[in-house]
Amino acid sequence: MLTPDLIQALRSAQHIVASTGAGISAESGVPTFRDAQTGLWSKFRPEELATPEAFLQNPKTVWDWYAWRRELVARAEPNAGHRALVALEASVPEFTLITQNVDGLHRRAGSQSVLELHGNIMQTQCFSEGTLVTEWNDHGETPPRCPACNGLLRPNVVWFGEALPAAALEQAFTASRHCDVFLSIGTSTAVAPASSLPFEAHAAGALIVEINPDPTPLTRQAQHVLRGPAGKILPLLAAALANR
Ligand code: OAD
């Protein structure tokens, strides 16, 4: 699976970027984004729920969908893939972890610095002010209301059509343009601007490694394509770096 030249490139890399998508959490039992519509929610398409318009039209439905996903994520545990990235972070001079996931599993696994481009489902913000809200009075209303302005509360995740957190996005682009190796892990590489990061890295001369059971639009550009689950492949990468 890991060729000698890939192992050599990993061991001599000064800066490695790992960019993850829903696939790295699949082995923790968190459905990938596009097949999360199981059971109760099968009649909705994510694009119908994860937008500000959907929230304003059906605040209770959207809040309940995220409450269902929060529940599911809270029961999930980080898997060997998440843990391997923690080990990688410790064995590379510079390591940047970028994720599109909102499940918080990288932090729970012990990753120190995580650029959460799409927010974090375990956090809540005020729809009107955009501020993070950690406590509110529960008057039995769904969604609950902001204690400061009485606006509706919403999950702290980026919805379709919304801007990504500017600082995190800028750091992600800078890291992608200055790394030696870019690991694209468990993402369909379908949603901008995150999907352009590996192409920026490729244009800047980084070695591109794709870790995914299936092909993606990045496959053609990747010098190394590791077809398989992240939970099996990432520990091999971490071991190769640990035993240098
Ligand atoms: P997707 O559901 O689009 O893609 C998941 C990818 O993971 C696919 O390419 C799968 O082949 C792959 N995969 C599945 N199991 C895997 C495993 N065990 N190991 C490695 N890869 C595996 O999820 P994302 O690409 O993360 O955005 O979706 C990107 C964004 O689309 C999400 O962040 C969300 C959605 O719109 C927003 O909500 C703004």
What's the confidence (pLDDT) of residue 31? 84
End-to-end CA distance of the chain: 17
Ligand 1 pocket: which of 25, 30, 48, 188 to mutate (most atoms within 8 A of CB):
188
Q: Ligand 1 center to residue 32 CA distance, Å?
A: 5
Q: Two tokens at 122?
A: 């375990």
Residues carrying an active site annotation:
118
Spans of the chain, pLDDT less than 50: none
Give the span between the Cα atoms of 23 and 25, in whole angstroms. Answer: 5
pLDDT of residue 35: 57
- From 83, 187, 226, the mutation candidate for ligand 1 (largest count of ligand atoms within 8 A of CB) is 187
Task: Give me 146's structure tokens.
Answer: 């902001």
CB 11 within 8 A of CB 207: no
Q: For residue 27, count other CB atoms closer than 10 A to its CB.
A: 18
pLDDT at residue number 192: 93
Q: Please give the Cα distance from 241 to 10 (Å, whole number).
A: 7
pLDDT of 27: 96
Residue 107 identity: R
213 C-alpha to center of ligand 1: Å? 11
Confidence (pLDDT) at 203? 98
Residue closest to 171 by CA, chosen among 228, 79, 99, 240: 99
